[in-house]
Amino acid sequence: MSRSDHDPSPLDDAARAGWLSYVGGMTQDQIAVELGVSRQRAQRLVSRAMAEGLIRVRLDHRIGACLRLEAELTRRFALMECRVAPALAPGADPAHGIAGVAAEVFERVLARPEPQVIAVGTGRALRGMADELQPQPCIRHRIVSLIGNIAPDGSASFFDVLMRIADKLQAPHYPMPVPVISDSAEERASFYRLRPVRAVVDLAQRADATFVGVGQMGDDAPLYKDGFITLDELRDLQRQGASGEVAGNIYDASGRYLETELIGRMGGVRIAPASDRPVVGIAAGPTKVAAIRAALTGRIINALVTDETTAQALLA
C-alpha cells in the first residue's frame, strides 16, 4: 500500500519544529513542550529541518559592510550587479550561504514581463541557488544549458541544475545534448553538426541573462573531482596556466581562454567576454578567489554573487 500525501512522514516533526523556530520564533525549550519531546530532540529536529531544506531563510536587511563591499567590487571590476552575502562561520559551506541571495537575483530576471532566455551552467553553487528558488509558473521564459552533462562513462553530473530549475518554474527547457568531453575533436564536431545541438547552442548564445558557477583549477578542481578529466590532464592544464573554469571553458589568470587539445574536445558554449547582457558568476570560498578574480579581470563574468570573506579577498 502506498502512502498518500496526507499520511504522516518521518520529516513531519522536523518540518513542524523548523516552522515553530524560524517562523514562530519559539525557543528550543518551547518547541520541546509544544511537540512533547526532549529539548535535545527539539534541537535535532530544527537542525534536520534546515539540513533537509524544509525551511529556507532569506535575509531582507542589507548589511552595511556587505553594501560597501558590493560598491567597491562594482567599481573595481565595472560590474552590472554585485551581491555580497554575510559570511558564515569558519568551516561552513560557502555555497550554502550565497544560495538564497543568488536565487533573489535569478527571480528578478523571472519577474521581467518580456519572455527571457536564461542560460545556466552547472555546479554546487548553482544547485544551491536552484534549491532556493520559489516554485512559480514561468512558461513564458526558456531555460537553456550551457554545457553538456554526459560523463565518459555515460553518467550525468549530480550537480546539473537545468532540470531542477525547469521543474520549479514549469518552464520550457533545453539541455545541451553532448558529452562534457568528447573522445576527439572530430567526434565533438560531429555532435555539433546535429540540428538539435545547433538549435540549443544558438539559443544559449542569445541568452538574455546567464548564470554560471566558477570552478577552481587547483587539485580540487570540479572537472577533476567529478570525473570529467584525469589527474594527468589536470596537471597538464595547470602547467599551461589554468586558473579557472566557467561552463567547462578554462582560462588563465588574466581571464584569457586557453586553447589546448583537451579544451578542443570540451562540449558546451563558450561565453564571449565583455557581454552587454548580464553574466552572473555565483561562487564563494577561499579556493575560488583566484578563479573568480581571473573571470572578472577577463570580463568573462560581469556580475557577481559571493560572500563577505570572498569579497574581501578579491579586493585585497
**pLDDT-based confidence at residue 61 (cuts at 50, 70, 90):** low
Model confidence band, residue 56 (pLDDT cutoffs 50, 70, 90)? low
**Strand, helix or coil at 216?**
strand
User: Looking up cell 573554469, which residue turns up?
Assistant: 245
Quick one: which H or E segment has residue 71? helix 64-77
Mean pLDDT of 38-64: 76
125/139 Cα distance (integer angstroms)? 24
* CA 316/CA 313 separation, integer angstroms: 5
pLDDT tens sequence across 176-192? 988 889 999 999 999 99
What pLDDT is stored for residue 1 in this prediction?
38
Say which residues have a Cβ less than 8 Å from residue 202's Cβ, sequence separation at least 6: none
CB 118, CB 109: distance < 8 Å: yes
pLDDT tens digits for range 95-133 = 888 999 999 999 999 999 999 999 999 989 999 999 999
Query: What are 2-48's pLDDT values in tens digits?
Result: 444 444 566 788 878 877 887 677 888 988 998 889 988 988 988 88
Instruction: Give the containing element (helix H, strand E) for 238.
Output: helix 231-239
Average pLDDT, the chain: 89
> pLDDT value at position 4?
43
